[in-house]
Structures are given as structure tokens and as C-alpha cells.
Amino acid sequence: MPPSDLQHISDATLWQLVMEGNVSAYGELYERYWESLFETAFWHLYDKDAAKDIVQEVFVYCWQKREQIQINESVPAYFRAAVRFKVLNHLKSENTREKYQQLAGQALPQITHSAGEYMAKTDLQASYRRELARLPDKMREVFIDSRDHGLSIEEIAQKRGISTQTVKNQLSTALKKLREGLGNFFME
């Protein structure tokens, strides 16, 4: 099946093809979801490299275990949950490192960040909060439900009493506005 035909296939069907070893179907799922998964990881970690690594690890794991992974509900929800799990493990490992540093009474070798990197992170966080505050109230609530509370589109629609298409539109518009407002921070 040519890759262009895969664009019109449902996520569930694509996952079935992936389970059979179809690399093109997996590539299509990657293209559909890598950006939103990166954003999910980034907003929890505020670390581009760690967020990229986590998303990559999730996709590699899912490919390696494709024959065992049964996704009965939503493919993107499964990916989001996997990313959140990896983020939590990443944060736990950072906390564990700090704990052992304290127990050892000496600092373990660590990567230090320059004052410029710290200021950039602080500026990014302040800019994010400012841009988030500029969103219309309902759009901001939908965005926070999605990104901070990890709710699915269906869960948000049910919670807010709106259609899933409205949720998708609100999230898409919110991301567009945030990207516009934070554009300088995403230049690599």
C-alpha cells in the first residue's frame, strides 16, 4: 500500500498493519503524533532534548513490542500514556539522583547549565504563562485539561459538554496561538 493511501486510514487500522510489521503504517502514525507527543513531554520537562529522547524511546519501544501491544481504545491515547509514563520515570530518576547525592554527602558528577540556559528556561516559562493567559477562557481550560491534566479529547468533550470536534478545534487554535507567541523559543 503506497504511503499516500495510508493518510486516509484510521489509527486502529494502521495499528493492525503495524502489528503485522508494516513500516509505512508505523511511519504514518509517527507523522501523525510525534509533534503532539513531543509537546506533551516538553511541557512537563521544559527540556527539548529529554522530550525528543522520550518520544523516540516510546516509538522505538512500540515498534519492538508491536506484536504484543494490543490497543483496543485509542492509539494516540496509548502513545500519550506511554509518554507520560516515560516522563514520570525520567523525573523519578532525576529525584533518585538527587537523593543519592544527599545520602553520599557529596555531589555526583552532573551536567551543569549556564546562567544563560537558566534564564532562557525562566523566560520560556514566563512567556508560556503569559501566552496561556491570553487565550480565551474556554480555550485555555480545554488546553489545560489536555496538557496539564492529560485528558483525552473525548474526556474533555464529556467534561465540558462540547463536541469532540470543538475540542480538537480549540486545541489546534490554542497550539497555533501558543506557537506564534512562543515562536522564538522553538528556533533550533
**Range name among 14-18, 125-129, 134-138, 173-177 with the lowest pLDDT average:** 125-129
Give me the amino acid identity at 126: A
Q: Are residues 45 and 126 in the same domain?
A: no
Q: Are residues 80 and 119 in the same domain?
A: no
Q: Are residues 94 and 130 in the same domain?
A: no
Does the pTM exceed 0.85? no
Length of the chain as a residue count: 188
- Residue pair 24/1 in contact by the 8 Å Cβ criterion: yes
Q: Compare 113 and 24 and report the one with higher pLDDT.
A: 24
Q: Are residues 118 and 99 in the same domain?
A: no
Model pLDDT for residues 121-132, shown as the tens digit of each residue: 666 677 778 888
Domain count, the chain: 2
With bands split at pLDDT 50, 70 and 90, how would you rate the model's confidence at 167?
very high
The CATH number linked to 27 is 1.10.1740.10
88, 111, 134 - which closes a domain: 111
Model pLDDT for residues 8-61, shown as the tens digit of each residue: 888 888 888 989 999 999 899 999 999 989 988 888 878 888 889 999 998 998
Model pLDDT for residues 150-164, shown as the tens digit of each residue: 888 999 999 999 999
Quote the percentage of the chain above a pLDDT of 90.
20
- Residue pair 112/178 in contact by the 8 Å Cβ criterion: no
Q: Are residues 22 and 105 in the same domain?
A: yes
Burial of 27 (0-12, 13-18, 19+ CB in 10 A): middle
Q: Are residues 106 and 133 in the same domain?
A: no
The CATH number linked to 181 is 1.10.10.10
Q: Are residues 12 and 70 in the same domain?
A: yes
Q: Are residues 95 and 26 in the same domain?
A: yes
Judge whether residue 100 has pLDDT over 60.
no
Provide the domain limits for residue 6.
Answer: 1-111
